[in-house]
Chain A
Amino acid sequence: MPALSTVKTWLIMNTIARTMAPSRPETDKIRRVELYDRYGSMAYGIILNIVPQPEVAQTILVDLFATFPLEEEISIRERESTAIIRLARTKALANRPGSAERSLTSFHPTERNLPKVVFNLSFWHGCKSEEIAERLHITTTDVLRAIRTYVKSFTTA
C-alpha cells in the first residue's frame, strides 16, 4: 500500500510539473525528428562509408538521433550538421564490426593523392595523426596540413 501511494504521488507530481512547465521531452523529440529529417541521409552516408553492413549502419543511425546530446553539442557555437558529422563518425568507428577494419597496408600515397589518403585514413578509418605519420613516413604536421588541403578541396569539389 505505501508503494502504491508512492507511485500515485510521483505520478501526480510529475503530471503537475509537466502541466505547469513546458514539456521539454516533447520539444526534444520534435527537434530530434527534425534533425533526422534534415541530416539523416548525410549521417547514413557517413556511417555506411565506415560500416558497410546496412543493418549495423541503420542501428547506429537510429542510436545517433535518439541519443543525440542536443544541449551539449549544439550550444558551443557549432552547427548541428558539424556535430552530427562528428558524432556519426565517432559512433560508426566505435561500433564497426572487426571485419570492417580494412587493412591499412593497401594505402599507397603519391604526392598528388596524399591529402586524400591521409583524410581517408584519419576520417574514415579512425587512425590517429601519429599512426598515420608513422605509416606514411611523414611528420604529424604534414598529416594535419594534408587534412587541411583535403578539407579546403571541399569548396572546389
Chain B
Amino acid sequence: MATKSHQYLEEGFLEAYLTGLISEQERTDMKHYLAENFDVQNELSEMETDMEQFFMRHAVPPPPGLRDAVLNRINETEIQQWKPDFEEFSQSRKSAKSPGRDDQYVNVEVDNTHIQVHKNWRPAFIAVFVLSKIFLISGLYYYFKADSMERELIQLRQQNSMQQTTPVRPLNTR
C-alpha cells in the first residue's frame, strides 16, 4: 500500500488522473484507491482547486448566443430521450396483448367505462344504500301523513264554518 501511495503521490499519477491523462484501467484503480485513502483525497482536492484556477485564468468567454444554443440542445436531447421510452412502452403493450401474456397485461384503457375501487369501499356503499332507502321510506311516510292531516284539517274547517253560518232560530215566546 505504501509503495502504491508513493507511486500515486510522487510519480505524477494523481496529476495525470486529474487531467484525464491516464488509461481507463488506471483510472478505475485510482478511484478504488481514492475511496480508501482520505489523505490522498485531500491532496487531490487541493490540486483540483489549483487546476480550476489555472484553467479559469485561460478562460475565453463564448459568444452570448451560445447559451440559448445550449438550452435548445438540452430540450432536443430531452425529446430524444422520450422517444425510446415511448417505443419501449408501445412494444410492451403489443407484447402484452399477445396470447399467453394476458397475466402480465395491466388494463389501463382510456376509453374504458368501468372503474375499479378497493373492496374496503363495499361497507360504505352498502351503508349509503341502506340509509338512502330509510330516508326514502320515511320521506314517503311523512309526506302521506302530512297530506292526510291537511285533508282532515280542511274537513274540520269546513265543518266549523258550516256551524257558524247556520242561523240560530229565535226561541218561540208565545
Residues in chain A within 8 A of chain B (CB atoms): 5-6, 8-10, 12-14, 25, 28-29, 32-33, 36-37, 40-42, 44-46, 48-49, 58, 61-63, 65-67, 76-79, 81-82, 85-86, 89-90, 122-123, 129, 141, 143-152, 154-155, 157
Contacts and interface: CB of A to CB of B under 8 A. Distances in A.
Contacts, number: 155
Interface in B61-94: 61-63, 66-67, 69-71, 73-78, 81-82, 85-86, 89-90, 93
A42 B75 CA distance: 23
B50 interface: yes
A53 B55 CA distance: 19
Contacts of A46: 55, 58
Interface stretch (B16-24, B122-130, B142-150, B153-161): B16-24
Given A5-B111, A144-B16, A145-B11, A82 B52 contact: yes
Nearest to A81: B52
B13 interface: yes
Given A9-B108, A78-B48, 9 more contacts: A33-B67, A36-B70, A40-B62, A67-B77, A85-B55, A144-B12, A144-B16, A152-B15, A154-B54
